[in-house]
Structure 1
Amino acid sequence: MTTPKYSVIKSLTVHFYASLFIVQKLSHHLKNTMPQHPVWLVDASIYVFRPWFIRQPITLDREGNPINAVLGFLRFVYNLLQTEQPQQIAFAFDISLQTSTRKAIYPDYKANRTPAPDSLKKQFQLCRDFLDTLGIVQAASPHFEADDVIGTWAKQQRDNGQACMIISGDKDLAQLVAERDIWWDYGKRTPLPPGGVKKEFGVWPAQIPDQLALAGDEADNIPGIPGVGMSTAAKLLQKFSSVEILLSRIPEIGLMKTRGAKRLQALVEEHQATVRLARQLTGIYCDVPDIPTVLQRKPKDLVKLQSLCEQLGLTEQQVKLWAAV
């Protein structure tokens, strides 16, 4: 089960150059759409989960704990910092689903997800510790999700006149994209400004919570209207703008020039309560308390960085790379 330790620099070399062309191409695409010096807000968890699920040969730290997810996350962070040179950046994590405000509203929220094993929880903590050593802001809330932390930061930054780069593979966060903002699943998809979100999902960013409330969200175990998918939900919102307006004008659904309009009207009529419940879950809360509000990077803690790199089995050369990033 144990294999020779893979160095971070080797992983960086293989994976970085494999994706560098894509990242540079997408970054070039941003030049004409991205404002100068945006604040980068990163939905960290997905970039930890992705290497965790790859199930590549297991790499262990000096204490015998698996660290594949950590190394994968560090590749992502290294690429982002080296390629984009963000002046302000912050990472949001999830720490407790069971105490989430959404779980209190709907006990079956995300009930389809298996709890993270202890080995993965330890890797999440190592990722957070590594960011701390680099002087990078990272935060989590016991009662709100990473989406809400990012939403709070985005609201704060807009109040300060700053544009935001929202880095996530979760379409839910596209609802935060305002006029000068961009949603980007970094290195995977095309960066999307508001018009790009509309083209990709069929609705404007502010309508995404309504779209998910109508169609449901299987990934989060959020119920929707049976038989209504994202495309049909988009058509409804193109006519009625929001769930609230839609539910106040249900008889007009049957008059729409769309196939099965009468049946669709009956479905919406029958499942109004479900839609209202779902809408409480799909919106992002933008007033999370007790999280950092200053997102400027601090000086690195080189002593702790050295210690953590040793724990991960990194060489002195690799420590120097991180110290210089």
Structure 2
Amino acid sequence: MPHTIHLIDASPYVFRAYFALPDMRDPAGRPVSAVYGFASFLVKYIAEEHPTHLGVAFDESLTTSFRNDIYPEYKAQRELPPAELEAQLAACQAVAKALGAACFVHDRYEADDLIGTLATQLTRKGHDVLVVTPDKDLAQLVDARVTMFDYSKGVRYDAAAVRAKFGVAPRQVPDFLGLAGDAVDNIPGVRGIGPKTAAVLLDAFGDLDALFRRLDEVAALPIRGAKTLGAKLAAHRDMAFLSRELATIDRDAPARADLRALRLAGADPALVDPLFEELGFDGIRTRITRWR
């Protein structure tokens, strides 16, 4: 029987909570603002969306991702999480497990890769997938069975919505980022090419491979600076392909989509009660329903 599996990209919600909420401490005096915000989000999400199957992917590869081997500057502009936040990440995973979610984390692969791998395995088995994230990188996973859900904004993206937002099809997102880059992840792209130009190029040529085979045709495109654009692309060819590689989600990461493990049986009182008591989250605990 086909199911809809919800896969949550945890990091945006954990980081958002840490920076948005005031300093909070558990009864032992340890910082818990990120844990509190993440727990509130997850309890609210389950109560509102009623997932029957739920996986949560966490980032542990902040400096050890295979992408750092390919390009040491990858995400290098980002400051590492403060010690107070790093100490809360394990508790966020414990919260997800206590609420009945399957957790996925790896020191060499990012949450994007784990989600992409799980989504690929699940759709091959005939299931639908809802990827819960505000991260545009994951738009490349969208297809007939995969929808992206920016929960905070209440917006769901199918293939048509991805094209409307970015000007490209989901499968073209890595090529799009290969050209336009991504300042958030320090993916360089091609200097001087922005999102609009990248979208026009991909609309005309389909992907980077075809674009660089047909650079002589770029000058005829109805875009500003078209006559010199071919030379600019040729000069930055290697960086464009490197950027695409960095932006491409690895769908063969070490993660296994076990439907039984993904089944959201419900919050486990044996885990929830002592954990939330230790964290001092009595208010959240009273909101938890025994989900089926």
TM-score normalised to structure 2 length: 0.94
Tell me the CA shift for residue 318 of structure 1. Answer: 4.6
Instruction: Output the amino acid matched with 1:260.
Output: G
**Alignment RMSD (CA, Å):** 1.6
* 1:1-325 equivalences in 2 (<5 Å): 37-54=3-20, 56-291=21-256, 293-294=258-259, 295-298=262-265, 300-315=267-282, 318-322=284-288, 324-325=290-291
Q: Deviations over 1:74-102 (max 9, x none)?
A: 12112210111001110100002222110
Unmatched runs of 5 consecutive residues or more in structure 1: 1-35
1:19 is matched with which residue?
Answer: none
8 Å contact from structure 2 (residues 267, 288) kept in 1: no
Q: Distance in 1 between matches of 2:267 and 2:49?
A: 19
Partner of 1:59: helix, strand, or coil? coil
Instruction: Find runs of 4+ consecutive structure 1 residues off by over 6 angstroms.
Output: none
Tell me the CA shift for residue 320 of structure 1. Answer: 4.7
8 Å contact from structure 1 (residues 139, 292) kept in 2: no
Q: Distance in 2 between matches of 1:129 and 1:186?
A: 22
Q: Distance in 2 between matches of 1:169 and 1:128?
A: 19
Tell me the CA shift for residue 176 of structure 1. Answer: 0.2
Q: Distance in 1 between matches of 2:61 and 2:244?
A: 21
8 Å contact from structure 2 (residues 122, 257) kept in 1: no
TM-score normalised to structure 1 length: 0.85
Q: Distance in 2 between matches of 1:171 and 1:272?
A: 23
Partner of 2:54: helix, strand, or coil? strand
Instruction: Output the amino acid matched with 2:246.
Output: L
Partner of 2:103: helix, strand, or coil? strand
Q: Distance in 2 between matches of 1:94 and 1:268?
A: 33
Q: Distance in 1 between matches of 2:129 and 2:245?
A: 25
Q: Deviations over 1:138-193 (max 9, x none)?
A: 11111110000000011011111111111101100010001132111103152111
Percent of residue pairs identical: 39
Instruction: Output the amino acid matched with 1:48.
Output: V
Instruction: Output the amino acid matched with 1:285.
Output: D
8 Å contact from structure 2 (residues 26, 278) kept in 1: yes
